[in-house]
Chain A
Amino acid sequence: MRQSVLLLYVAMAVVTYLPRMLPLVVLSRINMPAWLMRWLSFVPVAVLAALLSPDLLLVSEGDARVLWISPANPRLLAAIPTFFVALRTRNLYAPVITGLCTIFILNLVF
């Protein structure tokens, strides 16, 4: 392995690690005000929704990302049965299996 590449990785690792580590180590020792605790309790829902929506609804066109709301969008289409199974079962596996089976079928059909 080239030394320059290793140095690049170490620098990337440091700037990636610090934002992962500092809030956890510092904030868990502090008594936070109620509003901040409430704010932090909203972070998982907000992060999940923010990760999911572009994955289902956007497509890359060159450098740009554009909306693709159409029945021809397999990722959007497969989300529908996944969503209903998730709503009914509220576990992790049934929706994942549903989503995977649907996307396999759609990829075979289209």
Chain B
Amino acid sequence: MESLCSRQQSYQDLTVYTGIRSALPIVMGYLPIGAAYGMLARQAGLSTAEVVAMSFIVFAGSSQFIAVGMIAAGVNAWAIVFTTFLVNLRHLLMSAALSVSMRRISRPLQALLAFWITDESFAVCSTTLNGRQATAQFVAGLQVTAYLAWAGGSLAGAVLGGMASGLTDLGIDYALPAMFIALLMMQMRERMSVVIAVLSAVFSLIFAIYVPGNFNVILATLLSATVGVLLSK
């Protein structure tokens, strides 16, 4: 189990092409979900340029959906900004985890690449690295490909409307949960990983159901990683 996993990954050089290739499942997910966002945003009264500009400037999927809903409801701009902040706080943890594997990348490049950190690119990046130090080319290839897919999907949804979002009805957005399942299995390197995965999955469900405001990922991760450290002492 362990040898299979490491054999497969150790042969991958961390070039820009590896990054682009690793982003392909993300592209399959971002195109239809971006299209769904684009269509909703147009319905909320944003122009096509405004729809695509949000994807380029903010680049944060779930908070863009929430912002569009709030814009449609005529909510105050500061409330939108504050909600965006809260929803995207979970990236603190991913950024902290990446700091271990991006030590060889210069500070300005780190600050640039940080703009493109998403749930999906973080998950693919840390699984592919598998403890190795990242190269800027690999991370950039992965993240910029995902970025362009998200912006492209948004544009398609804004321009084509229902035609593009028909992809979501078909189920192409299922590429993302399927990718998460694959990444999760690749991460199962020790017994503690299994324990943490199960704990985090259950915590996340409980928080998603009982705590309003999209805090399930950050709370579940904080709790289960802490339990992991306590148990491994």
CB within 8 Å of B: which residues of A?
A: 1-2, 4-13, 15-17, 19-29, 32, 35, 37-58, 64-67, 74-75, 78-79, 82-83, 86-87, 90-96, 98-100, 103-104, 106-107
Contacts and interface: CB of A to CB of B under 8 A. Distances in A.
A24 B110 CA distance: 7
A65 B185 contact: no
B73 interface: no
A66 B182 CA distance: 25
15 contacts: A12-B80, A19-B89, A38-B232, A42-B193, A43-B93, A49-B197, A49-B220, A52-B184, A54-B204, A65-B208, A66-B209, A83-B185, A86-B186, A99-B175, A100-B171
Which of B5, B97, B199 has the most chain A CB atoms closer than 10 A to its own CB? B97
B229 A27 contact: no
Contacts of B22: 92
A25 to B, nearest CB: 5
Contacts of B225: 39-40, 42-43, 46
Interface in B187-216: 187, 192-193, 196-205, 208-209, 216
A28 B105 CA distance: 9
A48 B180 contact: yes
Given A4-B77, A46-B224, A55-B180, A10 B57 contact: yes
